[in-house]
Amino acid sequence: PQTVYLADYTPFGFIPEKVELRFILDPHATRVLSRIEFRPNPQASDRRFFLHGEGLKLIAASIDGAPVTPELTDHGLCCEVPEGPFVWAAEVEIDPAANTALEGLYMSNGMYCTQCEAEGFRKITYYPDRPDVMSVFTVHVEGPYPVLLSNGNPVDSAEGHATWHDPWPKPSYLFALVAGDLVARSASFTTMSGRHVALNVWVRPGDEGKCDFALEALQASMKWDEEVYGREYDLEVFNIVAVDDFNMGAMENKGLNIFNASAVLASPETSTDANYERIEAIIAHEYFHNWTGNRITCRDWFQLCLKEGLTVFRDQQFTGDMRSAPVARIENVIALRGRQFREDNGPLAHPPRPESFVEINNFYTATVYEKGAEIIGMLRRLVGENGYRKALDLYFARHDGDAATIEDWLKVFEDATGRELAQFKRWYTDAGTPRLKVTEEWDGDAGRLTLHLEQTTPPTPGQDQKPPRVIPVDVGLLNPNGDEVVPTTTLEMTEARQSFSFDGLASRPVASVLRDFSAPVILERQSDSAERAFLLAHDTDPFNRWEAGRTLARDVLLGLVLRDEAPSGDFIDALARVAGDDGLDPAFRALALRLPGQDEMAQALSDAGVTPDPTRIWEATEQLSDTIAQRMRPLWERLHTEMEVTGPYVPDAEGAGRRALRNTALMALSRCDGGAAARAQFAAAGNMTEQLGALSSLLATQTAKGEVDAFFEQWKHDRLVMDKWFGLQVMQARPEKAAEVAEALTAHPLFDLRNPNRFRSVFGALAGNAAGFHHPSGKGYGLMADWLIRLDKLNPQTTARMCSAFETWRRYDADRQQMMTDALRRINAQPGLSPDTTEMTARLLP
């Protein structure tokens, strides 16, 4: 496999003016006929006519009607071409039924579907498969299937064939085709200029009843993008298709989004509140790509965060507007710290805009997506809401129809706001999470508080030197009585060390630093538990209020892990005050009660120079959970009763918050009552959130008895619910049992190696069960390696992504390091290992 470098970018020598494709569908022998009108690209100097193509059987090729015999390689073909414009035509044969990699054209449960991002189109036909080559596509699909879909608007259709035309030039990665026995639930949307758009969600017969929420989320997204970004939809139809076998969440193909069924299908009986929230966010994300990704795409894959960071930022804004903004922010930061900080701290660390890659599929990472979104949040904070809107308007006006770069993106901010962004650009080019150390100096005579800030970023692979970055640090000051004396102010840090003073203060205030998590940094600040408890009680910034509680809990857990120190009464009291404060949003209370995860604790210990012992962290977490459960039992009983939501299930933020707090109370209660309340909730559950909450509590407290079987009997016909059943058993298994439970589940008749959701439900859960995965026996590592080796033969993309289970090996003791790297070496040494997994394991190994 070859390394590709950003610095080597050159434009393609030809421009495809028009692309016509004809598909004659057959499970094992689909014929793809292409006719492409090319002209020389005046911007390019290289006139070599190379078309990508992989795994294709070339039947015939011609130029201007005359047959040609191109030079074929494993990666494509080369051909002599005329100097002026010419028409390329080719016929190839492919085998969708044998495509288990789920890239290109493949079959899932009897239906045909495609996944072309990033480089899947080359598995469909010969083409310059790169995002800066854009063209207008017309697609004819033929086959004995009731539904035949492609991008754009329908031109004509009759039994057995259909023609689609997409008037918007697009790169090949946005191409899509779907065919099969599908049914649609439909709605419509009238755009701000009065055009009517037909909206369809296509599903397998039987799933029609699970489409309404997706349609509503789509309508809300379309409206929001008009209101907030002035972006109108641009085709007559917007189709969404649910497929069972899919490597990621969903794909934004122009006018024909393809979704993992788990990211679109919802019903109260089968989906949890978290599922609903995820579906709403993914529908919005893919819809928002229509402008940020499709109308303006990326020049090359190094610019991936241009579309992904911005679209994640937009979907996070949308969720904040649709639900609770503070709760959404806290959830996003938990996810960022859990995935992106972990990535940035290990061997896979890379800049949001990498300089090189071997397999681009390995760069669909938390750094590109979530850190990419954080960077845009910082930009918005620095230029203000108006500056941001002006810059975005300019971006859409200037770059509509372009394949753009990060430089283009930053330039619109510079031009629209007059701000110089050369230093800010380091956020895109430099890897690693900055540490921000904050110390305080109080001058009582002058009434002045000075904050001394110092930033350092540890070296990351290939980047030793880390010059200082621009860091927006939001700060507010509170009086000792809890009143805010200085409202949120953004301090712009640009130097390695910098001090900022606040004058005119009557008494020493309490500083609330990095409000709203204004920058993706690790804050290092000495503060005592009294100050944290004060901020937990009084901070006007909801994020920092939650953060204060989180830091308190982390310190308590560290005390337990390191010194076997019992939690202080103050901590329990502070927690009880928040949990019992009926003036606070129940969703916020549920979040405040969630203890830091075991992986977060391992990282915290490692940051403090202590080798983490996952078993000890698990024991401490159990011990603390038991203490909290016992000491606050009356509160759990009250909350479990009071937070019950009666009446029909509505998947809104309010109901979800109440159910989340109720399930939190139930989890604690189950530690006191032997599972009695959970068993009752399981029996009476009127929706999946209640049923799964009860099952989790029973599994966590080892009292699930018959409920696991009852759940299976009730839901064995439903794939998405079965994924929960598989996952929960592994997630909640005790450390010494986790690998055994996972292994037993791989022998279950419903375990299916070809279905990424099912594989992730078992092995994603195993990786997430920290003490189980890192059990000193090494069984977790061994089992994971065995199954990644098997999966790689079928689905390299999912295998490579899941190798990140091993990314933290450097944190651990010598035995675990040895076992983890042995597992990686074993995978890496497999004959015929895919380039995807070869690259990942090589990057992970020393």
Residue 308 C-beta: closest distance to Zn ion, Å: 5
111 or 558: whose CB is closer to ligand HT7?
111
Residue 355 C-beta: closest distance to ligand HT7, Å: 20
Residue 431 C-beta: closest distance to Zn ion, Å: 21
Residue 43 C-beta: closest distance to Zn ion, Å: 28
133 or 478: whose CB is closer to ligand HT7?
133
38 or 363: whose CB is closer to ligand HT7?
363
Residue 42, SS3?
coil
- CA dihedral sign, ordered 593, 598, 604, 610: positive
Residue 254 C-beta: closest distance to Zn ion, Å: 14
Contact of 514 with 521, CB cutoff 8 Å: yes
Residue 252 C-beta: closest distance to ligand HT7, Å: 5
Residue 591 C-beta: closest distance to ligand HT7, Å: 26
Long-range contacts of 479-483 (CB under 8 A, 24+ apart): 479/507, 479/509, 479/510, 480/507, 480/508, 480/509, 480/510, 482/534, 482/537, 482/538
287 or 725: whose CB is closer to ligand HT7?
287
225 interacts with, out of Zn ion, ligand HT7, none, CB within 5 to 8 A per kind? none
Alpha helix (H) residue ranges in 750-795 = 756-768, 770-773, 779-794
251 interacts with, out of Zn ion, ligand HT7, none, CB within 5 to 8 A per kind? ligand HT7
247 interacts with, out of ligand HT7, Zn ion, none, CB within 5 to 8 A per kind? ligand HT7
Determine the Cα–Cα distance for residues 387 and 97; give it in Å rounded to an integer.
51
792 interacts with, out of Zn ion, ligand HT7, none, CB within 5 to 8 A per kind? none
DSSP-derived pairing of the beta strands 297-298 and 403-404: parallel
Spell out where 666-812 has E strands. none
285 or 545: whose CB is closer to ligand HT7?
285
- Write out the residues near ligand HT7 by the rule CB under 6 A: 115, 117-118, 247-248, 250-252, 285-286, 289, 308, 361, 364, 797
Residue 5, SS3?
strand
344 interacts with, out of ligand HT7, Zn ion, none, CB within 5 to 8 A per kind? none
Tokens of 404: 């753009």
Residue 407 has φ and ψ, to the nearest 5°, of -60, -45
Contact of 127 with 121, CB cutoff 8 Å: yes
743 interacts with, out of ligand HT7, Zn ion, none, CB within 5 to 8 A per kind? none
Determine the Cα–Cα distance for residues 687 and 651; give it in Å rounded to an integer.
10
117 or 474: whose CB is closer to ligand HT7?
117
Tokens of 653: 């933020």
What is the per-residue binding string for Zn ion in 295-324, x denoting contact by CB under 5 A? -------------x--x-------------
Determine the Cα–Cα distance for residues 613 and 811; give it in Å rounded to an integer.
10
Q: How far is CA 111 from CA 23, 123, 144, 323, in A?
A: 14, 18, 12, 35
Residues 262-281 touching Zn ion, rule: CB under 5 A, are none
How many residues belong to the site for Zn ion (CB under 5 A)?
2
Among candidate residues 286, 359, 370, 807, the one labeled active-site is: 286
Determine the Cα–Cα distance for residues 251 and 263; give it in Å rounded to an integer.
11
For tokens 């916020």, name the residue: 588
Determine the Cα–Cα distance for residues 715 and 737; give it in Å rounded to an integer.
24
697 or 797: whose CB is closer to ligand HT7?
797
Distance of CA 378 to the CA centre of its chain: 19
- Helix (H), strand (E) at residue 800: helix 796-802
Q: Which of 529-550 are b and which e, b meaning 16 or more Cβ less than 10 Å from the residue's Cβ?
A: bebbbbbbebbbbbbbbbbbbb
DSSP state letters, 498-541: EEEEE---SSPPEEEESGGG-SS-EEEE---HHHHHHHHHH-SS
Looking at beta carbons, which residue is closest to ligand HT7?
Answer: 248
14 or 313: whose CB is closer to Zn ion?
313
Question: Is-cis flag, bond preceding 118, omega within 30?
Answer: yes
Specify burial of residue 228 (Cβ count, 10 A radius: 0-12, 13-18, 19+): middle
Contact of 710 with 716, CB cutoff 8 Å: no
The vertex-412 CA angle with 46 and 430, nearest 5°, equals 75
Determine the Cα–Cα distance for residues 806 and 841; give it in Å rounded to an integer.
9
129 interacts with, out of ligand HT7, Zn ion, none, CB within 5 to 8 A per kind? none
Residue 286 C-beta: closest distance to ligand HT7, Å: 5
Determine the Cα–Cα distance for residues 821 and 810; give it in Å rounded to an integer.
9
Residue 109 C-beta: closest distance to ligand HT7, Å: 18
- Smallest CA-to-CA distance from 90 within 25, 137, 21, 41 is with 21
Residue 285 C-beta: closest distance to Zn ion, Å: 5
113 or 595: whose CB is closer to ligand HT7?
113
115 interacts with, out of Zn ion, ligand HT7, none, CB within 5 to 8 A per kind? ligand HT7
199 or 248: whose CB is closer to Zn ion?
248
- Is 286 catalytic? The answer is yes
800 or 820: whose CB is closer to ligand HT7?
800
Angle between helices 372-399 and 406-417 (to 10 degrees): 80
Residue 640 C-beta: closest distance to ligand HT7, Å: 38
Residues binding Zn ion (CB under 5 A): 308, 311
Q: Which residues are known catalytic residues? A: 286
